[in-house]
Structure 1
């Protein structure tokens, strides 16, 4: 049997998808040519891209106001691309503003949103970065979603960025609108005119559950290597008013946008401006076709909720027995990445070694924070989750 890959990314893929992908590496859609060799301009491959787009659109209920485009560079690439495209849009809307008058709002709830804000400062020219909220208090680690009253958004920013799920820190916005850990969408509409420049980084939760207020977003982006496919593919959902002529904006003083980062260049070419990541696109199409057969995002939302509930229950039991310590406040915990410490001398090494001996791999936390991280992406089944839960309970019994 294959070991269970609880890694945070590149992460597990369904066995059935991997088996089908092996066939496509030799013969893609009856062409006799492998998918990693075939022309991205061929009718077989262009139809695959269209099928993948349709699967995302139908399963997430993406409205016709938004385009779906595929590119490269991962979520980190979008830290730069989003800034450049959204500042170009802002320049076209407000050509008379100086660079210093342009503001970008960043919601900082973990390591990735912190990095996104740092990149905005680096490539944003003279535009300023306004931190709408910072979840850290007294220099402590990121451990939860701030209260709604702590958020402070600018009046007319070029963009408002948030990271829906923080892979490193195990913090995620709640999908329950009544939860104090939900994203404060209601604050964005107060006294504001026009379309929201809201940017959602959904890299580590994309297709794991519905996206609240999807139609209100200007941009949603996600790297594929968590729930969708291999690394090398990035998926964007971009509202059409944000697909702007970046060259026209540059003539007005905006920073030039590299052609491979221009939303308009990619969208106009049907995501085939240059050679795309053909194999990741193919595997993503297989994953999304499988998802459709299972019931789509609604199915995974139910299953993922159950999986997370089981792991958090075992974690709470371990806390009560003095064996584990959660890194995240209750209510702010991620469904995708459950993070905690194992208490005691050499206890963490013991936990990891024993888990690996039982076929459960990649449970070590991110190098920047340490501890344990159990990633529960779509490809991790409920049965596999039950196995790690049983192991956690066995470890608690032996060490409490």
Structure 2
């Protein structure tokens, strides 16, 4: 069998090799049932018990309070662009049945491709009006998603009594991320939020890599697991229980009818088993969670946050060295760079292809940037070790020195 590649791809991402080996055993025989995990009934007592364990581990690791339910569904983060709008409009109709659609305002913070798509979906669905709280392109000299707006420049214009306030914690395509430390001027401006704000956080590409700031103050947090937790197919929802409403009753009050499989009430009432869930993805995600707990205990998120900071610092240091030599060019402002997805350009005609060819020759994969922006994207999810990062950093420096020598 060929050596496993170093997978720096943005998703589906690398998974721990030890977990993949356990998963292989489970494909043949899940918990001594004699049936593989991909074959067993999702209504079997063994799988139901396993699913409860996955929920329990997420609750422990992220310190999720009892005020919030943990739900499992399909469709990825993109399906939640719609589900969030529909469920939160239903809640708003339940609370304020007499309001007109134009009085139901949905606040969106746009910092990259994914939050831009979420905003467009809210507009497409209708049922309310969309207020763009901030758009980072307005704070870019090139009109690009290359920054997180600062608290200090009066960038954020929140509505009073909004249906929801949406933000994307980490923009996987554009390589920008809200600072994880509160008080930093590029952290999410929790202190500017209206009282009792129904806050919605898309944490797809940084989920389970660090503690979520003010988790208890969110109405909804959602994440596709295919970055730090498991294979594609599973979406985890953390929903405050007052946001799980009777959507049919809301529809009678004028809300947009919601498909049953999109309604949070359906998921909650059936313990995420209304229909067949992505069983294999849940299984492997559970194995990853268990490894986290075994390795670092219930404080694993703090440990992974430290590792994330260390790994990204190494890449940014190499990137800075390349910029000083005129070989690399960062795509984002220095105070806005993501710890999960580092993006940059290679300067010079044909040099990007040359750089990527060098990574491929060294068995490093997935480093070409998203098709919409190009360049290089280095994804540093949990399963990427510090030694693997060092392998990439060594090559980056080697490339920089070689190009500098040619230029001289």
TM-score normalised according to structure 1 size? 0.98
Q: State how 1:139-158 maps to structure 2 within 5 Å.
A: 140-148=143-151, 149-158=154-163
2:178 to 173, 178, 182: 173
SS at match of 1:256: coil
1:72 to 64, 71, 74: 74
Q: State how 1:83-232 maps to structure 2 within 5 Å.
A: 83-125=85-127, 127-137=128-138, 140-148=143-151, 149-189=154-194, 192=195, 195-232=196-233
Counterpart CA distance in 1 for 2:272 and 2:396 is 44
Gap runs ≥5 in structure 1: none
Q: State how 1:1-400 maps to structure 2 within 5 Å.
A: 1-125=3-127, 127-137=128-138, 140-148=143-151, 149-189=154-194, 192=195, 195-295=196-296, 296-400=300-404
SS at match of 1:373: strand
Contact 1:74 1:222 in 2 (8 A): yes
Counterpart CA distance in 1 for 2:258 and 2:188 is 30
TM-score normalised according to structure 2 size? 0.96
Q: Bigger shift: 295-304 or 15-24?
A: 295-304
Gap runs ≥5 in structure 2: none
Q: 1:213 deviation in Å? A: 0.5
Runs of 4+ residues over 6 Å off in structure 1:
none
Contact 1:83 1:124 in 2 (8 A): no
Counterpart CA distance in 2 for 1:123 and 1:35 is 37
Measured against aligned partners, the alpha-carbon deviations of 1:63-89 in whole angstroms (never above 9, x if no partner) come to 000000000000000000000000000
Contact 1:84 1:124 in 2 (8 A): no
Measured against aligned partners, the alpha-carbon deviations of 1:170-195 in whole angstroms (never above 9, x if no partner) come to 00000111211100000004xx3xx3
Counterpart CA distance in 1 for 2:142 and 2:319 is 25
SS at match of 1:331: helix
Contact 2:104 2:129 in 1 (8 A): yes
Count of residue pairs the alignment pairs up: 395
Contact 1:72 1:232 in 2 (8 A): yes
Q: 1:292 deviation in Å? A: 1.0
Contact 2:170 2:206 in 1 (8 A): yes
